[in-house]
Structure 1
Amino acid sequence: MEAIDKARFRQVFLLVFLLVCTFFVFAFCIGFGSVKIELKEVISIIFKKEAFNPTHKDIVMGIRFPRALGTLIGGAALALSGLLLQIFFKNPIVEPYVLGISSGATLFVALIMLGGITLGFKTPSPYVLVLGAFLGASLVMMLVVAFAVKVRDVVTLLVIGIMVGYICSAVTNLLVAFADSERLYGFIMWTKGSFSGFTWKNINVLLIFGVPIIFASFFVVKPLNAFLMGEEYARSMGVDIKKFRLIIILIASILTAGVTAFTGPIAFVGLAVPHISRLIFRTSDNRILIPGTVIMGAIVTSLCDLICRTIFAPTELPISSITSFIGAPIVIYLILKRRASL
């Protein structure tokens, strides 16, 4: 009992510590760049709306603040989506990118940006992009789950998900081939994956769609913990499996779609961060793992974005090129670990 109490105290302490670190990472990302702004000035601008240099205030509030906030929310959303899918499919190498959910979101965004489909709206506003990405992500996810009912083998299911992703990519490539150059440039820049150009309008959409869904995930902690023990055990604990599956699908799809609509496909955040959280907190208890993954997703994505825009400044790298350096070794490690345990 005492050992359990110590472990729980350590986990809670780590959560609080990482939450505090998140604020300093956020402030550091705002202050660091081609124009360096001291931490105390960043804090003064954020909380007091006062700056030692008027230009710094414009840089912080107009450019860096929304971008840094976008990386926090976006990283948290992608990491949480990956964790939920890994639990749902009982597979450690599942994420929205692997299962084709991001490809589905990309296809529908391509239909809007390249095909001129506005879903009944006059202009393709950020809200339309989110709606289109959500529809694409949801349709692919529903298709994968439909196969999951008939196919019990996890490897086969993953292959099906990848194939669905390839089909979505093929249709997207057809749209690219026939698109005019002006629309094509904007879409290609979008597919590279970047938080560059994030505006307050984008943040408002993420706050409306993303943040409430992230908080809503805390209400499925108990069913998730029960589901870890198997479907039969979850049923015995009163979990409605069909409703539970639908909730997980909706949460994962909305989170993936909301981020992908603005940043483009970002690989490995949803795959790597849940495992980083498991290693740090040493638990599979979702009461700790969900908030831990949300916080770690925000921190990791913020730091990756900072590296993207500073390491070869003024040239900015696609964020997936940095997240892949983190995610790919973790996938290799997991594959080797699973083979060793066989």
Structure 2
Amino acid sequence: MRSRLSMTYGETGRASRAVVVTAALLVALLALCVASLCLGSVSIPAGDILAALSGTGGTSSTSAEIIWSIRLPRLLEAALLGGALALSGYLLQTFFNNPIADPFILGVSSGAKFVLALVMVVLLGASQTMSSSMMVVAAFAGSLLTIGFVLVIARRVGSMSMLIVAGVMVGYICSAATNFIIAFADDQSIVNLHNWSQGSFSGSNWDDVDITAAVVLSAAIATFAISKPLSAFQLGEAYAQSVGVNVQRFRVVLVFLASLLSASVAAFAGPISFVGIAVPHLIRSAIKSSKPLRVIPACFVGGAVFCVGCDLIARMAFAPTELTLSSVTAFFGAPVVIALMLRKRAR
């Protein structure tokens, strides 16, 4: 009886902790959003931002244009794509049962970037434009191809460490092929493709935000909806099958959602490193639980906080020079990965 009570209190405590952590992340996200809208080459007071967003006037047309056309779309893209990266990393870590699996490490982001760059160059060479939806489709195809190749390797190698090494090598190959395409492209507008390939939220517009919100939020809701079978899957495929989960179909769903989320990031922001590894690990450590029902919401908000904060640092640290986003995310994310590996070795 006493053990049942302690288990009940323990579950209640972990659930409360997850709520508190998620609420704290939402407060941090709100503060970062205000800072991102206020700070830049032109500083805008918080009161003017509220006036511009509410449409009540009291702010200059220039400030309103900066907020609505530049900073707000970029902010929303950073929040949505940061959450997508964190969720994609969480799904891949669950799928491969490896805490350092994520779209960047396994080469999924690089594969999406390669196919997207290839399609973009072909269309530009034919004097055609590429819509936002077409970018997502091309990146999604690249993500699926790369994950499929990694799965083939996973069946042939028994060691997860070798799988990670293979994923890194696939990423290098795709990145080299992408650079080759960019270097020999004739169109001068490929310079924009090169800048995109470095990872950045700059240049985001409302069309991108609309497509991103539709894809990412739909995938995030679907991920939350499979929390229960995902919890069973974490305990092993045999256990999941014993409680009625169609393991083969569920694995396809996991790959599909992880690819869709990572493809959205690759299409609109380019490759961004370490977010998919660091955020899920930090969230699990903060809430002291790995239950998907608790981790998924906190993971999405945590990814948004991480990317909005890193984007703000990239813009403001050496203004007017803007750093590449991956350099900032690597600066904060790499120590988390090192600590994770050291803790695993100690255990």
Query: TM range, normalised to the smaller chain?
Result: over 0.9
8 Å CA contact retained: 1:27, 1:43: no
Equivalent residue for 2:42?
35
Query: 1:50–1:211: structure 2 CA closer, same or farther, 3 Å change rule?
Result: farther
Q: How far has the Cα of 1:7 moved from its partner? A: 2.9
8 Å CA contact retained: 1:267, 1:324: yes
Asked if 1:53 is matched to 2:56, the reply is: no
Cα distance in 1, alignment partners of residues 273 and 55 from structure 2 = 37
Q: How far has the Cα of 1:137 moved from its partner? A: 0.9
Query: 1:335–1:13: structure 2 CA closer, same or farther, 3 Å change rule?
Result: closer
Equivalent residue for 1:6?
13
Alignment of 1:1-342 (within 5 A): 1-48=8-55, 50-116=57-123, 122-180=128-186, 182-341=188-347
Cα distance in 2, alignment partners of residues 11 and 339 from structure 1 = 27
Q: How far has the Cα of 1:181 moved from its partner? A: 5.8
Cα distance in 2, alignment partners of residues 49 and 69 from structure 1 = 22
8 Å CA contact retained: 2:124, 2:187: no
Cα distance in 2, alignment partners of residues 49 and 284 from structure 1 = 45
8 Å CA contact retained: 1:113, 1:183: no
8 Å CA contact retained: 1:133, 1:260: yes
Q: How far has the Cα of 1:106 moved from its partner? A: 1.0
Cα distance in 2, alignment partners of residues 244 and 88 from structure 1 = 10
Cα distance in 2, alignment partners of residues 189 and 217 from structure 1 = 31
8 Å CA contact retained: 1:192, 1:320: yes
Cα distance in 2, alignment partners of residues 102 and 303 from structure 1 = 21
Q: How far has the Cα of 1:121 moved from its partner? A: 11
Aligned-residue RMSD, C-alpha: 1.9
Query: 1:50–1:280: structure 2 CA closer, same or farther, 3 Å change rule?
Result: farther
Cα distance in 2, alignment partners of residues 51 and 224 from structure 1 = 50
Q: How far has the Cα of 1:117 moved from its partner? A: 7.3
Cα distance in 2, alignment partners of residues 317 and 252 from structure 1 = 27
8 Å CA contact retained: 1:114, 1:183: no
8 Å CA contact retained: 1:104, 1:136: yes
Query: 1:48–1:176: structure 2 CA closer, same or farther, 3 Å change rule?
Result: closer
Query: 1:112–1:51: structure 2 CA closer, same or farther, 3 Å change rule?
Result: farther
Q: Tell me which moved more, 131-140 or 121-130.
A: 121-130
8 Å CA contact retained: 1:107, 1:168: yes
Cα distance in 1, alignment partners of residues 36 and 56 from structure 2 = 18
8 Å CA contact retained: 1:104, 1:139: yes
Q: How far has the Cα of 1:237 moved from its partner? A: 1.1
8 Å CA contact retained: 1:308, 1:322: yes
Cα distance in 2, alignment partners of residues 84 and 282 from structure 1 = 18
Cα distance in 1, alignment partners of residues 97 and 247 from structure 2 = 15
Cα distance in 1, alignment partners of residues 223 and 243 from structure 2 = 19
Q: How far has the Cα of 1:271 moved from its partner? A: 1.0
Cα distance in 2, alignment partners of residues 280 and 41 from structure 1 = 36
8 Å CA contact retained: 2:78, 2:308: yes
Q: How far has the Cα of 1:159 moved from its partner? A: 2.3
Q: Tell me which moved more, 250-259 or 19-28.
A: 19-28
8 Å CA contact retained: 1:113, 1:124: yes
Query: 1:126–1:90: structure 2 CA closer, same or farther, 3 Å change rule?
Result: same
TM-score, normalised on structure 2? Answer: 0.92
TM-score, normalised on structure 1? Answer: 0.94
Q: Tell me which moved more, 152-161 or 188-197.
A: 152-161
Query: Where does structure 2 lack aligned partners over 5 or more consecutive residues?
Result: 1-7
Query: 1:302–1:257: structure 2 CA closer, same or farther, 3 Å change rule?
Result: same
Cα distance in 2, alignment partners of residues 332 and 6 from structure 1 = 29
Cα distance in 1, alignment partners of residues 202 and 170 from structure 2 = 29
Cα distance in 1, alignment partners of residues 11 and 312 from structure 2 = 38
Q: How far has the Cα of 1:53 moved from its partner? A: 2.3
Cα distance in 1, alignment partners of residues 346 and 200 from structure 2 = 37
Cα distance in 2, alignment partners of residues 3 and 178 from structure 1 = 60
Percent sequence identity over matched residues?
41
Number of aligned residues? 340
